[in-house]
Structure 1
Amino acid sequence: MPARASRFKALQGAALPEYAPPDPATGVSTMRPALAFALSIALAGPVAAQDPCGMGGCADAGTAITDPLSAEERRLSEREVFLLASEILAVSGLVNTFKIEETMEVLNAAAYLEDQERWIGFNPLWVRQFRDLPTNDRWPLYAVVAHEIGHHLLGHTIVRGGSRPATELQADEFAGFALHALGANLAQAQALWQDFGATGSATHPARGLRLAAVEKGWRASAGRAGLALPGDATDPDDTAPSIRQRPDAATPGDTGAQAAPAVPAETRPHDTIRPEMSERAVCAPLPKGGLRGRVCASSALGVDHVARLTDNDRRAPWTEQEPGPGSGSRMLFDFATSISAQRLTVVNGDNTDEKAFRRHARLEGLTLRGSNGHERVIVVRDNRREQTWTLAGFEGVDWIEVIVDSVIEGRRYDTLAVARLRID
């Protein structure tokens, strides 16, 4: 166990909480077992010993949880938390400079300082349970990391005293703000807090206050985008999506994005220069029945090869043709008219079968850049399922560039494969 992680006291008699996806009828997630302090996110200040208080309450010191994970699983979990932190910080225009480590001495995550550096420690067992869940069932994991980032950004980790109701509410509010910016609706943003204790304590506020803080941050994010807020502010089960869209943009049930009214170039405040593609770039028309325009890849075997990015055949992938595993590859979605993008859909790797999937390099981290100046960092999970993200902030764009920041290298082939990468 890393030496710095010993600052945390283990939690006695507390089983690791298992995340349960939202109930289809209520949209509310539950944790099992439903302990008042089951979700312990320790707030560690600059002193060596901290109380084991966290996001959901406090517990007595005891024996550390046994670590059944392999070294490879622990490495992958650490990388995933780092990328999640990068994605959360990117919506605030910040670069991720946090240090990330795994520790079995907290139930899920903790924020603390060590040698004048900001650390987030996490329990890889808690992270692992989210690895293969659909995007919309992973919001509690985003909420945990966002809450800890909030403690760092708000200066809580440089103040002695551990957890206090006021600082917990501030971190909750930041988490709500970040979750809206990432595309969570209000019910998804509040899911993590639903099982917290109804009454407060000397260190933690009551559940109602915490849910209100998350909602306050969520709505502040929507208001900052200059939007009409979806849903009734008094309804805790508000499921209206947090898509930053123009009044005439597509509704959440639409299968494609609506074309936004054309805006003269000289009046667009954040237009950026259209990126230049290399001589090896190949372009293909976007599929009929959707957005009009083309998609270009920085390298490809031909037009039909590029078209594989947006077709419905997940067993025929696009593969990059440059030397190396694919980091730095680029795709450019060039639209015929200005559009308000609604979602990104990705099917990672070569989906011919599981063996082909593991043999080729796969996507890990992406950056999306729009013609309106908006940027978004995306963390792609390493599985064969379809993954989707709400593209809040990409309204009135003429083009969106997709940059491959990092990949997971293949076991056999030094080639990046992507079965689907589509913007609607």
Structure 2
Amino acid sequence: MKSFEVNFDGLVGPTHNYGGLSYGNVASQSNSQQGSNPREAARQGLAKMKALADMGFQQGVLAPQERPDVAALRRLGFSGSDAEVIQRAAKEAMPLLVASCSASSMWVANAATVSPSADTADGRVHFTAANLNCKYHRSIEHPTTSRVLQAMFADQQRFAHHAALPAVAQFGDEGAANHTRFCRAYGEPGVEFFVFGRSAFDTRYPAPQKYPARQTLEASQAVARLHGLTDDGVVYAQQNPAVIDQGVFHNDVIAVGNGEVLFYHEDAFLETERVLAELKDKLARRGGNFKAVCVPRAQVSVEDAVRSYLFNSQLLSRDDGSMLLIVPEECRNNERVWTYLNGLTSQGGTIAEVRVFDLKQSMQNGGGPACLRLRVALNETELAAVNPGVIMTASLYDTLTQWVDRHYRDRLSESDLADPQLLVECRTALDELTRILKLGSVYPFQLNP
């Protein structure tokens, strides 16, 4: 039976703005308060989805969330009609309104952790929604994320869904941004690689001094237990605290893996040699041949990696066994990074080609190609059970592009967030989107009209 890695990309929401909400994310903070273009952002993301589908890769789409989140503002004490809640929040606590308007759900690498059926005890594909409790604006995402994922992967015989972990610091979980799976083939048992920033209970693990370590070891271990993974199919590694303090807020900003290949920066992990040896040994037991491609700090500094998002790229397997690296335009604009990539592909190694995409709107808010997609390994039967409305086709691309053009603004600033009409526009757009993607009622305004 054939198996595939399907990339489900997050569709940028109508309230895409640069709120500078993510402390520790250099791009997010440095572009704070700039004007955004939600229409262009959504179009750029759709163009990447369509291009990968045209190349023959399995591609899907994951819907954005309702914003502003009026229910979240009500829980914080704002009352009255929806319009009154928004206007009062704008007057009394603008930072809370900005947080409630964040379109950060576009970065669906943080939506959940996914384990394919070949790895799990019950032979189902398992999803655990990420609690994202390190940042308020992201901590409010997981209830809707869970409903959307359940609408996409509804067959309970093939898919299992777990609620987010307890929303406390000890179980900080950032989803697939800190999770990679290595395997010889997508349908065969693999090795799941969990990268954590700190331990909540074990003081032997060092912690960063400047920026928060968002993923805990305990959260990663809990997800592995929920998914029924075996010890010989899991490797845990600690992210280097020094690179977290340089703006590497998730592992997918400093490393990316696919198939049998890990593409990583020299400074990505602590105890790198031990980690690589464990990955190699455990994958070999499953018939795989682990390959590590290290980018030396002498050629690409951590600062260059963060500015260009070199590692927040998509590493995709092609039919001939080679790999394609999808990078943002910022990689081409960085002389050292571009020189390295040209040298890498000229060597005739595993990574054979680099393709560049313009994702400026996303990049300025701190997320690149890898942030925009949730990877789900599926066999033919499981893929057939996925809600067909979310699988990218030429027709769906045209429909979604027209939908974006009808409903999205081409300019959004912080002051615009106080306009109650923005909520009306968002709900109107999302109500139509659920029909386009055949999701049913997944948004709070649909569940509690």
TM class, shorter-length: under 0.3
**Larger RCO (CA within 8 A; separation ≥ 6):** 2
Q: Which has the larger radius of gyration?
A: 1
Q: More helix by proportion, 1 or 2?
A: 2
TM-score by length of 2: 0.27
